[in-house]
Structure 1
């Protein structure tokens, strides 16, 4: 019993990132050593993602209400700056993907018999879906994890609860605090969840499906790496006037790593909120900006949409001029904001971008099929970029405000 306690203390003393890495190694090892007899391990991944997805909607709902009812009149907020950063970052990511696709054009071996019926056909369809999600039934929004609807209704409730009795406000705040403690408990089980998720991924694809599509996969990952390691740090440096890389790497390590395995921006919301708390950010700010980012801050999705659309154009021999490339960047950015925060959400918006070049829906759906072939790695990296950028932009917006107020910003100690 004493030995078990020592092992447990040693395990907890390693730090979460190290424990996640150990879980990753165990998942890979078991997937290759005993893929059949150890398949039950996948349940850890299912339970972990399921728990995060279950708590995230109700967490966001109460945190947003709590943030609004506690907001004092005249108190400054950075939400405008954060939204601008989200939109700018998504557009620049799309632009990087367009430039990358021109520098390293890739053609595809299109698959056949791909049948997808739910992809939007035009930008009006994307905007209509966003607006309908905005006014979705609040109970249904919570049940389905519709964060646009959750943000809308929780904001309304919060605004009108500002006039409520102090006792009522205290109850809302206490519920939000209890939910945060639940989230922290779930996050402690991340290593086991990662072990199950990586085992499941290797069991499903094995990696053989990636070889025949290596070129487009390299292009996608190269563009995403450029955004994460060059574009985002430049934006961060402009905002905080300090070396941004310690903060960038912290976001990638603690948010991106988990998002890589969950493959869901929505499921990673609790992880991001926990990281924001560790970074010393204001809860009334990140409780709104993080779920909002999981909905509209989609740099990875913008890269995916642009790269696949231009690869389809190159495959068909379509010449894309400069003006069309800029339009594609804007279209991909807007479309990415409408991508759902679930695995594979951006792939269904590829036909919309392809329509800009007159590519038929049948061909576009075959391109989507290619996306699903490499989807395990592509979508994991895409989500890691999306989710880690949510925390990065939220933090630099607040740090920028601190700098204007003359407060010290010690990014190197983050």
Structure 2
């Protein structure tokens, strides 16, 4: 038998955003806790930079954080160069151990997933047209981040490439510097589609089909 855990209430969900231990939030990859900590830290740093007494110290701290951010992006960009090798190795190992049947059995799920993602993309295109975005220019720059995300299956890992595309599109840093890291963590609607389809597929495989 299968038991479904109870969903936490709204109050509990909001309280869980505030980490009880900042170090534990980073160690456990509690993304909501990390984002909350970053927001509080950023607001405090902004107040320091605006203060006459603490302006110099705030600027120094800001430069340190800016440098750490650039170093992190450089490291992530370097790792991305080796992603194709890793993907090839994983697929080769899976096929060699379990045979092509393992991949072929996922064909239906992959087809449904691509149809759903295609529908999602059409909705996004309609929204962008509604706001006057030129699709040719957008996809001309977005194709590299999209291909990288497809290969790596990681929004955070694709972040350096996405930031470069945003810069080439002329998006202000004040916008992409906040929205892209936040969106790579919270606005994972594509991942939500994949998880839902994978859950239905797995339930059917083990003989426990899901109903409404």
Bin of the TM-score, shorter chain as denominator length = 0.7 to 0.9
Given candidates 272, 293, 296, the residue that maps to 2:162 is 272
Structure 1: tracts of 5 or more residues without a match: 1-115, 319-353, 358-414
* Structure 1 residues 123 and 167, CA gap change in structure 2 (3 angstroms): same
1:202-241 to 2 correspondence within 5 Å? Answer: 202-206=91-95, 208=100, 209-228=102-121, 230-239=122-131, 241=132
* Matched-pair contact (CA < 8 Å) for 1:184–1:274: no
The alignment's TM-score, normalised by the length of structure 2, stands at 0.73
Q: Distance in 1 between matches of 2:6 and 2:40?
A: 30
* Structure 1 residues 132 and 263, CA gap change in structure 2 (3 angstroms): same
Larger RCO (CA under 8 A, 6+ residues apart): 1
* Matched-pair contact (CA < 8 Å) for 2:141–2:169: no
Q: Tell me what 1:291 maps to.
A: 181
* Matched-pair contact (CA < 8 Å) for 1:147–1:295: yes
Q: Distance in 1 between matches of 2:17 and 2:68?
A: 24
Q: Tell me what 1:123 maps to.
A: 7
Structure 2: tracts of 5 or more residues without a match: 49-53
What's the RMSD between the two structures over aligned residues? 3.5
How far did 1:198 drift? 2.2
Given candidates 41, 44, 55, the residue that maps to 1:160 is 44
The question of 1:246 aligning with 2:137 is answered yes
The question of 1:171 aligning with 2:63 is answered no
Q: Distance in 1 between matches of 2:15 and 2:165?
A: 30
Q: Tell me what 1:200 maps to.
A: 89
* Matched-pair contact (CA < 8 Å) for 1:187–1:271: no
The alignment's TM-score, normalised by the length of structure 1, stands at 0.41
Superimposed CA distance per residue, residues 107-135 of structure 1 (whole angstroms, 9 cap, x where no aligned partner): xxxxxxxxx99xx7243279846742442
